[in-house]
Structure 1
Amino acid sequence: MEIAIKLSQFLLSLSLLIILHELGHFIPAKLFKTRVEKFYLFFDIKYSLFKKKIGETVYGIGWLPLGGYVKISGMIDESMDTEQMNQEPQPWEFRSKPAWQRLIIMLGGVTVNFILAFLIYIGMTYAYGEMFLTNDQVKDGIWVTNPVLEKAGIHTGDRIVAIDGEKVNRFEASIGAKIMMGKEVVVNRNGAEQTVNLPHNLIGQFVDAEKKVLVALRVPFVVGGFAKGSPNEKTFKQKDIITSINGQPIKYIDEVLAFTENNKGKTFPATVLRDNKQTNVTMYINAKGKLGIEIGSMTDKNLEQLGIYKFSRKTYSFAESIPVGLQKGKDELVGYGKQLKKIFTPSTGAYKGVGGFFAIFNIFPDQWSWEAFWGITAILSIMLGVMNLLPIPALDGGHVMFLLYEMITRRKPSDKFMEQAQMVGFFLLIGLLLFANGNDLYKAVLGK
Structure 2
Amino acid sequence: MEIVIKLSQFLLSLSILIILHELGHFIPAKLFKTRVEKFYLFFDVKYSLLKKKIGETEYGIGWLPLGGYVKISGMIDESMDKEQMALPPQPWEFRSKPSWQRLIIMLGGVTVNFILAFIIYIGMSYVYGDYYIKNENIKDGIWVTNPVVEKAGLKTGDKLIAIDGKKVERFVPAISGEVLTAKQIDVIRNGEEKTVTLPDNFIGNFIDADKKSVIGLRMPFVVGGFADDSPNKEQLKAKDILISIEGKPMRYIDEVTTYLEANKGKKMAAVVLRNNVEKEVTLNINANGKLGVGFGALKEDNLEKLGYYKFSKESYGFFESFPIGIQKGVDQLSGYWKQLKAIFNPNTGAYKGVGGFAAIYNVFPDSWSWEVFWSITALLSIMLGVMNLLPIPALDGGHVMFLLYEMISGKKPSDKFLEKAQMVGFVLLISLLLFANGNDIYKAIVNK
Which amino acid counterpart does residue 6 of structure 2 have in structure 1? K
| Aligned position for 2:117 | 117
Counterpart mapping for 1:213-232 below 5 A:
213-232=213-232
Which amino acid counterpart does residue 310 of structure 1 have in structure 2? K
Q: Which moved more, 1:265-274 or 1:118-127?
A: 265-274
Deviation of 1:235 (Å):
3.5
1:299 corresponds to 2:299: yes
Q: Which moved more, 1:271-280 or 1:157-166?
A: 271-280
Judging changes above 3 Å, is the alpha-carbon distance between structure 1 residues 110 and 298 closer, same or farther for their aligned structure 2 residues?
same
Q: Please give the per-residue CA displacement for 1:187-221, whole angstroms capped at 9, x wherever unaligned.
A: 11111111212111111111111322110011112
Task: Count how many residue pairs are aligned between Structure 1 and Structure 2.
Answer: 448
Deviation of 1:266 (Å):
4.1
Q: Secondary structure at the match of 1:318?
A: coil
Judging changes above 3 Å, is the alpha-carbon distance between structure 1 residues 63 and 267 closer, same or farther for their aligned structure 2 residues?
farther
| Aligned position for 2:39 | 39
| Aligned position for 1:248 | 248
Deviation of 1:287 (Å):
3.9
Distance, in Å, in 1 between the alignment partners of 2:171 and 2:224 is 25
Counterpart mapping for 1:47-446 below 5 A:
47-446=47-446
Q: Please give the per-residue CA displacement for 1:347-404, whole angstroms capped at 9, x wherever unaligned.
A: 1111111111111111111221111111111111000000000000000000000011
Deviation of 1:240 (Å):
1.9
Judging changes above 3 Å, is the alpha-carbon distance between structure 1 residues 291 and 434 closer, same or farther for their aligned structure 2 residues?
farther
Which amino acid counterpart does residue 124 of structure 1 have in structure 2? M
Q: CA RMSD in A?
A: 1.6
Distance, in Å, in 2 between the alignment partners of 1:68 and 1:432 is 17
Which amino acid counterpart does residue 105 of structure 2 have in structure 1? I
Identity of matched residues, %: 71
Q: Secondary structure at the match of 1:319?
A: coil
Q: Which moved more, 1:22-31 or 1:38-47?
A: 38-47
Judging changes above 3 Å, is the alpha-carbon distance between structure 1 residues 232 and 356 closer, same or farther for their aligned structure 2 residues?
farther
Judging changes above 3 Å, is the alpha-carbon distance between structure 1 residues 219 and 106 closer, same or farther for their aligned structure 2 residues?
same
Deviation of 1:228 (Å):
4.2
Distance, in Å, in 1 between the alignment partners of 2:265 and 2:12 is 49
Q: Secondary structure at the match of 1:431?
A: helix
Distance, in Å, in 2 between the alignment partners of 1:205 and 1:262 is 29
| Aligned position for 1:27 | 27
Distance, in Å, in 1 between the alignment partners of 2:159 and 2:86 is 66
Deviation of 1:111 (Å):
0.1
Q: Please give the per-residue CA displacement for 1:221-248, whole angstroms capped at 9, x wherever unaligned.
A: 2223334444434433222222223433
Which amino acid counterpart does residue 154 of structure 1 have in structure 2? L
Judging changes above 3 Å, is the alpha-carbon distance between structure 1 residues 156 and 400 closer, same or farther for their aligned structure 2 residues?
same
Deviation of 1:119 (Å):
0.5
Distance, in Å, in 1 between the alignment partners of 2:285 and 2:434 is 45
Judging changes above 3 Å, is the alpha-carbon distance between structure 1 residues 421 and 250 closer, same or farther for their aligned structure 2 residues?
same
Deviation of 1:175 (Å):
1.9
Q: Secondary structure at the match of 1:222?
A: strand
Judging changes above 3 Å, is the alpha-carbon distance between structure 1 residues 246 and 366 closer, same or farther for their aligned structure 2 residues?
farther
Distance, in Å, in 2 between the alignment partners of 1:214 and 1:388 is 29
Q: Please give the per-residue CA displacement for 1:324-361, whole angstroms capped at 9, x wherever unaligned.
A: 11111111111111111111111111111111111111
Judging changes above 3 Å, is the alpha-carbon distance between structure 1 residues 256 and 44 closer, same or farther for their aligned structure 2 residues?
farther
| Aligned position for 2:9 | 9
Q: Please give the per-residue CA displacement for 1:269-309, whole angstroms capped at 9, x wherever unaligned.
A: 43322211122334344444444433222222121111111
Deviation of 1:64 (Å):
1.3
Distance, in Å, in 1 between the alignment partners of 2:75 and 2:139 is 60
Which amino acid counterpart does residue 11 of structure 1 have in structure 2? L
Scaled by the length of structure 2, the TM-score of the pair is 0.96
Distance, in Å, in 2 between the alignment partners of 1:82 and 1:228 is 69
Q: Please give the per-residue CA displacement for 1:132-156, whole angstroms capped at 9, x wherever unaligned.
A: 1111111000001211121122100
Deviation of 1:413 (Å):
0.9
Q: Secondary structure at the match of 1:133?
A: strand
Which amino acid counterpart does residue 107 of structure 2 have in structure 1? L
Which amino acid counterpart does residue 332 of structure 2 have in structure 1? E
Distance, in Å, in 2 between the alignment partners of 1:107 and 1:439 is 30
Q: Which moved more, 1:345-354 or 1:246-255?
A: 246-255
Q: Please give the per-residue CA displacement for 1:45-97, whole angstroms capped at 9, x wherever unaligned.
A: 12211111111111111111111111111111111111111112111111111
Which amino acid counterpart does residue 8 of structure 1 have in structure 2? S
Deviation of 1:265 (Å):
4.3
Distance, in Å, in 1 between the alignment partners of 2:226 and 2:45 is 49
Distance, in Å, in 1 between the alignment partners of 2:267 and 2:129 is 47
Distance, in Å, in 2 between the alignment partners of 1:444 and 1:289 is 32
Which amino acid counterpart does residue 111 of structure 1 have in structure 2? T
Distance, in Å, in 1 between the alignment partners of 2:43 and 2:260 is 53
Deviation of 1:168 (Å):
1.1
Distance, in Å, in 1 between the alignment partners of 2:162 and 2:118 is 27
Q: Which moved more, 1:258-267 or 1:117-126?
A: 258-267
